[in-house]
Amino acid sequence: MNIFESNWGKTISFFTVFVVALAAVFYYLENSEIDEIPRMDLNAMEENFRQKNRTCFILGASGETGKALLKKIVERNIFSNITLIGRRQLTFEDKAYENLVQKVVDFEKLDEYAEAFQGHDVGYCCLGTTKAKAGAEGFVRVDHDYVLKSAELAKAGGCKHFHLESSKGADKTSSFLYLKTKGQVEAEIEDLGFERFSIYRPAVLLVDREESRPAEWVARKFLCAFSSVFPTMSIPITAVARAMVVNTLKDGEQKVEILENKAIYNLGEIGDKE
């Protein structure tokens, strides 16, 4: 019993030291990023945006970020028309979604569905999968090929502002397939020359799933506890969605903008203040 208590005590001590060290690292990272966020009158920005009578499309609306983004856009009512582009028809019980336009496409033959990408002012791309789900080739096909082809068709169809959900650490020169693929598609879409291209690089995405393993639940609770204190470490899906909406409303200062995790978090905080 004494041996058990001794080992348990050592484990707790080690975990405490680990958490403190981890917190120190993220505190340093946190304070190395730009922290200044301008004051915004969201109500005035929304009203001004509505008067422009703009339309948008969303890719990946069935995914966690896409669902949260769609919910925010519908709630804000900032677009005159919203089109969902995906591999299957989505069903919604809430009447707020009844005016959505849905375009079902075959991502392997996207050129045949160019019409779905025509006539939109703003495009949101939340497409993505993982190597675990699709294998290495499948991951590249979705996160690079599908995303890039969609961006090409959107640009040809008149899209002016393209939003891309990428990942923290994206780097086309990385030796890691995930980060390299994300970095490559960022660079190739930038070359398309959108009037405005917004790249979002969130860290660990936090979302409450209906079913999850105990380890996932513990990890999520741990990261949630630190997300508001150290926004470089993780971020709720809803904060990413809010940030994308707020960033749509504000004037772009640069043709290409990269929003790292803390910048996303800060914009999301603004979007959460009604």
44-84 pLDDT, tens digit per residue, is 999 999 999 999 999 999 999 999 999 999 999 999 999 99
Tell me how far the alpha carbon of residue 140 is from its chain's centroid.
Answer: 18
Bridge partners (DSSP) of residue 57 are: 83, 123
At a CB cut-off of 8 Å and minimum separation 6, what does 86 contact? 59, 60, 61, 62, 102, 103, 104, 105
Mean pLDDT of 230-259: 89
Residue 53 near residue 65, CB atoms below 8 Å:
no
The model's confidence at residue 216, banded by pLDDT at 50, 70 and 90, is: very low
Mean pLDDT of 162-169: 97
Q: CA 89, 109, 174, 204: dihedral to nearest 10 degrees?
A: 0
CA-CA distance, 199 to 190, in Å (whole number)? 10
| Least confident interval from 80-89, 130-139, 200-209 | 200-209
Written as one letter, the residue type at 84 is L
pLDDT of residue 253: 82
Among 167, 141, 155, 160, residue whose Cα is nearest residue 87? 141
Q: CA 194, 142, 85, 192: dihedral to nearest 10 degrees?
A: 10
Residue among 71, 149, 178, 250 flagged as catalytic:
178
Reply yes or no on whether 182 is catalytic.
Answer: yes
Average pLDDT, the chain: 84
At a CB cut-off of 8 Å and minimum separation 6, what does 47 contact? none
pLDDT of residue 242: 96
pLDDT of residue 22: 53
Mean pLDDT of 131-158: 95
Reply yes or no on whether 178 is catalytic.
Answer: yes
pLDDT of residue 75: 94
pLDDT of residue 252: 85
CA-CA distance, 103 to 85, in Å (whole number)? 5
pLDDT of residue 232: 59
Residue among 72, 155, 182, 262 flagged as catalytic:
182
pLDDT of residue 162: 98
Quote the DSSP letter at residue 252.
P
Mean pLDDT of 89-95: 93
pLDDT of residue 40: 77
